[in-house]
């Protein structure tokens, strides 16, 4: 899970400005087509043809109670004349892909501790993949591909280039830097290898196992030689876990009336590691089936995010008698491990040791429905939004 404090200083500014000193084309991106507007090079002169672009944006309408709906967001079109302040280190980017992540639900409420809420009337922000159009920052140049925080819009200005990362490897799909090589991938990597302290031969159970994080945790566990069981909400996802991701067993939790008995059936030797993505009834049943000195890595609790009154857990006494270690973690605390993570996991991908599934919504206008679908289990794999080609 991502710490809301991490995003509290990331603000997207929208400026009407004039560009200078380069020759390139800017694009009014739609889901499949881009309309070019050409800027003219004047040999470093400040004289330049002015040009406007229409910047499509997804606007957050008001704070949300209960399940988020598409109507909580709206599309807006702003005319922009593009330029960066001479005294800034800002970076102007064209957004190519956006990430839909469950943690964003926290930012739709104004009463979540340690959360930086979206402000009504503002552009929604989140992780994205972008191409640099103009840069006043010494670490970024026109044409660079970058990952980081950006607006749910076609163009964004990133103040001071804050938290942007230049994408080093382009021999994998750029969208992977929102998933397997991005925040979900790092969460899976550190949650399993660092928080869970796994050992070969241990029994691992993963909830929401077909999601952006769960699918990777299961594959990491199999590479280590663990026995792996996952749960998901449809038979299609269950088949995916076994047939594509190599889980030993998987089940549809919606078809199980007694989760405690189900876990005993699929994990007869108990659970050594539980990778928590759901919470609620599943967590209660897991505690009954944990082994002594078991570990629970708490990455998320998506079943609780839209409840006005969250569910309490009845049997936490199991933590004492079984000496269970239950630890929540936030991906930003492990950013120092990102270079190591990318090298290792990119290697796994190139060698065919792991696979990754994405669910792509095409067009910025479909971002609200893609996000809402996360909470109804509609996505299969990592949910992303494709705004425009490079």
Could you write out the three-class secondary structure of the chain?
A: CCCHHHHCCCCCECCCCCCCCCCEEEEEECCCCEEEEEECCCCCCCCCCCCEEEEEEEEECCCCCCCCCHHHEEEEEEEEECCCCCCCCCEEEEEEEEECCHHHHHHHCCCCCCCCCCCCCCECEEEEEEEEEEECCCCCCCCCEEEEEEECECEEEEHHHCCCEECCCCCCCHHHHHCCCCHHHHHHHHHHHHHCCCCCCCEEEECCCCCCCHHHHHHHHHHHCCEEEEEECCHHHHHHHHHCCCCCEEEEHHHCCCHHHHHHHHCCCCEEEEEECCCCHHHHHHHHHEEEEEEEEECCCHHHCCCCCCCCCCCCHHHHHCCCEEEECCHHHHHHHHHHHHHHHHHHHHCCCCCCCEEEEECHHHHHHHHHHHHHCCCCCEEEEECCCC
What pLDDT is recorded for position 35?
A: 39
The residue-averaged pLDDT of 94-104 equals 96
**pLDDT of 48-98, one tens digit each?**
334 789 999 999 999 999 999 999 999 999 987 778 888 899 999 999 999
| 310 pLDDT tier (thresholds 50, 70, 90) | confident
- Max mean pLDDT range (11-15, 41-45, 339-343): 339-343
Q: Which range (24-28, 82-86, 184-188, 334-338) has the least confidence?
A: 24-28
Mean pLDDT of the chain: 87
| 1 pLDDT tier (thresholds 50, 70, 90) | low
What pLDDT is recorded for position 40?
A: 33
**pLDDT of 144-174, one tens digit each?**
999 999 999 999 999 999 999 999 999 999 9
What pLDDT is recorded for position 321?
A: 96
What pLDDT is recorded for position 83?
A: 82
Q: What is the pTM of this model?
A: 0.85
């Amino acid at each position: 899970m991502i710490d809301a404090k991490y995003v509290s200083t990331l603000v997207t500014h929208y400026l009407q400005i004039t560009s200078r000193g380069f020759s390139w084309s800017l694009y009014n991106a739609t889901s499949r087509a881009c309309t070019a507007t050409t800027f003219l090079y004047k040999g470093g002169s400040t004289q330049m043809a002015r040009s406007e672009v229409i910047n499509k944006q997804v606007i957050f309408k008001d704070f949300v109670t209960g399940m988020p709906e598409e109507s909580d967001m709206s599309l807006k079109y702003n005319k922009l004349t593009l330029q960066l302040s001479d005294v800034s280190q800002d970076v102007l980017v064209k957004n190519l892909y956006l990430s839909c992540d469950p943690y964003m639900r926290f930012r739709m409420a104004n009463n979540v501790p340690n959360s930086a809420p979206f402000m009504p009337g503002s552009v929604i922000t989140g992780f994205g993949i972008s191409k640099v159009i103009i840069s006043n920052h010494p670490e970024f140049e026109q044409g660079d591909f970058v990952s980081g925080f950006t607006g749910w819009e076609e163009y964004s200005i990133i103040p001071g280039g804050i938290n942007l990362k230049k994408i080093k490897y382009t021999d994998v799909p750029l969208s992977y830097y929102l998933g397997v090589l991005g925040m979900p991938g790092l969460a899976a990597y550190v949650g399993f290898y660092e928080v869970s302290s796994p050992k070969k031969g241990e029994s691992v159970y993963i909830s929401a196992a077909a999601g952006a994080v769960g699918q990777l945790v299961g594959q990491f566990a199999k590479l280590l030689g663990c026995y792996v069981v996952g749960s998901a909400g449809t038979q299609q996802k269950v088949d995916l876990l076994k047939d594509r991701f190599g889980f030993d067993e998987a089940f549809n939790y919606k078809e199980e009336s007694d989760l405690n008995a189900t876990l005993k059936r699929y994990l007869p030797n108990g659970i050594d590691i539980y990778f928590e993505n759901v919470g609620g009834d599943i967590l209660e049943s897991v505690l009954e089936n944990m082994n002594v000195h078991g570990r629970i890595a708490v990455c998320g609790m998506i079943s609780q995010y839209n409840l006005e009154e969250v569910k309490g857990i009845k049997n936490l006494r199991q933590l004492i008698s079984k000496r269970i270690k239950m630890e929540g973690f936030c991906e930003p605390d492990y950013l120092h491990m990102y270079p190591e993570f990318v090298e290792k996991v990119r290697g796994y991908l190139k060698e065919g040791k792991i696979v990754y599934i994405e669910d792509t919504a095409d067009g910025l206008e479909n971002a609200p429905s893609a996000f809402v679908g996360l909470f109804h289990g509609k996505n299969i794999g990592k949910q992303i939004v494709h705004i425009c080609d490079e």
